[in-house]
Structure 1
Amino acid sequence: MKDTPSKAVIMMATYNGEEFLSEQLDSLITQTYKDWELYVSDDSSTDNTIKILQEYRKKEPRIKKILVNKEKHGAYNNYFNVMHYVKYNVSTDFDFYFYCDQDDVWVKDKMEKEIKVISDQKKPALCYSNLELTDSVGNDLNISMCDLTNINLENKYNLFFSGRYIWGTTMAHNRELWDLMFLDKDLNNRFQIAHDSYVGKYAVAFGKCIYLPDKLVLYRRHDNNVSGIPGKYNPIKRMLTKMPEIINNHASIYWEDLYFIKHSPYRNDFLNRLSKCIEKGSFYSWGFLNKFNISTSDSKLSRASIRVILFFKLYKLSKTFQRKII
């Protein structure tokens, strides 16, 4: 690790978050790791979110910029808006990068623990942690994200077939990973891509992805959550009643994979094979799934659905997959 002090950046996305925003900001301010700057993109909130952010900025000099996203809206584009600003408009050489939602609470040593994990990594590295679910007023539900989904990347390549692994508010990565990442300079070219999955793909393909079992974020669940959580369901009933939704979910993931592959700085055997798997389908896709032991669920039916959707390229029927990859 370098001798000079290390600095971190936190990128936050907000939208109509007045009810819980202050508690999240307070949890950042009281972090044991102090050397950070906060940049915020607000998705044109109509409540007091901007006012709260401005009030905090007056008393907290580490809050550097409050952007208002007036163009392409939605949680994904809102995150890319602040990432774009940090990438192309901030001259500070940050060592560590964090992503923050508006309605959760960070455990006070979250940043310190994650920085400790990645600070000695010489290649692109990302770490992410478990989450503790709370209700709308912050009461512990005694449920962690690991109770609901296999968050640990036992096979890192599963990330390219499911969006259930890395939760953005828990992740941190080093500058080496940030420098690899493609962010289109033309904001008009942004699409609905999950920032956490996108960043995670870079770590899996070209670096190291480290899981921390510590529950470093109190993940608040309430009626206005932008993101959801995985739920338990009857797989047969889901297949029969929600097949269009399942196909759309697959389409979104594969579209993101191809976007990532197109803009990745390097190519390797896995990415070349992944591209062919998605584009060719048929028995090639089955061979790929077997070779890389892809399995995103313990459900046999779930594993079968991946094979069927890829074999017949059903994902290409989705409107999601009709977007041009620029």
Structure 2
Amino acid sequence: MESRVAILLCTYQGQRYLSEQLSSIEQQNHKNWIVWASDDGSHDNTQAILEDFQKRWGKSRVSIQSGPAGGFAANFLSLVSNVDVRADYYSFADQDDIWEPVKVQRAVGWLRSIPSHIPALYCARTTLVDEANREIGFSPFFGKPPCFANALVQNIGAGNTMVFNEAARNILRRAGDIDVVSHDWWAYLVVSGCGGKVYYDPSPSLRYRQHGRNLIGSNMSICARAARIQMMFAGVFREWNDRNVRALEKVRDELTPESKRALDLFLEARAGKFLPRIKGFLKSGVHRQTFLGNMGLILAAVFGKI
């Protein structure tokens, strides 16, 4: 019997692409799934589209909830915490992408190789497409192993590719109500920090739509990179780290000794003056996935912007 997969779909003003996303879910090779849709107060036709698919597929395949109206991260985490949602595995889903038929199957195949008591998180590279579903490239390839020291300063997994097991879901639930930058970065932090397994699949199985309404896009263009430098000097990244490390206090008792040490050194370095700060970051082992990313990290450390 196929493993049960709960697809956690969050929507807001999603009428333009939602039907195409739902249709791609319907075409999955892995057939044992249920969509749990949480709409955050849309006033376009999003709700009507969800209800139409619910009529076509039945309530056993589509459950529609009202979101907390606290932003996309809070909406996704509300589904993670919903006690009515029960499955073997859990998959985040955005409202505007297109899933290849093998997407869920490939993720479940890896997750089933991990013992059920170990938190496990699957994520993957994506094919980038424009508003008309024309291919425009791929998301960055990350070759370094996923780990907590990387997660402290970078998220490598787009939420729309993430699938995780019950053990990972339970840690996320125990963290409770938290204020984090994004649900996917939080999942990477928690699973890697608490001794779980994270797999980054280099083969894309999702078409990630890039458009003006993306809350978080691929961030690969020159303009996007210039914008990130501006955000760094404006203190945005430091504020993001503030929120993440506060949230990590909720799960500190579940962090591995190695993760606690990295976190403590990271916190000590962030609070230090120039030379102790640079030495502290090097000692903590925090790093990004690419050479340019690490150069940016060093620059941010020099100016106290991490």
TM-score normalised by structure 2 residue count: 0.86
Aligned to 1:307: 301
Aligned to 1:112: 105
Structure 2 gap ranges (5+): none
Quick one: which amino acid aligns to residue 132 of structure 1? Answer: T
Cα 1:273–1:226 change in 2 (3 A) is closer
Aligned to 2:139: 145
Asked if 1 retains the 8 angstrom alpha-carbon contact of 2:14 and 2:96, the reply is: yes
Pairing partner for 2:16 from 19, 23, 33:
19
Asked if 2 retains the 8 angstrom alpha-carbon contact of 1:15 and 1:43, the reply is: yes
TM-superposed deviation, 1:235 = 11
Cα 1:261–1:286 change in 2 (3 A) is farther
Cα 1:214–1:47 change in 2 (3 A) is same
Pairing partner for 2:248 from 248, 254, 260:
260
How far, CA to CA, are the matches of 1:105 and 1:251 in structure 2? 32
Asked if 1 retains the 8 angstrom alpha-carbon contact of 2:53 and 2:62, the reply is: no
1:89 aligns with 2:84: yes
- What secondary structure does 2:113 align onto? coil
Quick one: which amino acid aligns to residue 134 of structure 1? Answer: V
How far, CA to CA, are the matches of 2:54 and 2:224 in structure 1? 48
TM-superposed deviation, 1:179 = 2.0
Cα 1:74–1:155 change in 2 (3 A) is closer
Aligned to 1:218: 207
Aligned to 1:286: 278
Asked if 2 retains the 8 angstrom alpha-carbon contact of 1:261 and 1:271, the reply is: no
TM-superposed deviation, 1:171 = 1.3
Cα 1:239–1:159 change in 2 (3 A) is closer
Asked if 1 retains the 8 angstrom alpha-carbon contact of 2:80 and 2:169, the reply is: no
TM-score normalised by structure 1 residue count: 0.81
Pairing partner for 1:229 from 218, 222, 225:
218
TM-superposed deviation, 1:253 = 2.7
Aligned to 1:68: 66
How far, CA to CA, are the matches of 1:239 and 1:47 in structure 2? 32
Instruction: Provide the aligned length of Structure 1 versus Structure 2.
Output: 295
TM-superposed deviation, 1:255 = 2.1
How far, CA to CA, are the matches of 1:235 and 1:105 in structure 2? 23
Q: Deviation digits for residues 23-67 of structure 1, max 9, x if unmatched?
A: 000011110001111101111001000000001001113433211
- What secondary structure does 1:73 align onto? coil
Aligned to 2:131: 136
How far, CA to CA, are the matches of 1:118 and 1:162 in structure 2? 23
- What secondary structure does 1:231 align onto? coil
TM-superposed deviation, 1:229 = 2.0
Cα 1:209–1:236 change in 2 (3 A) is closer
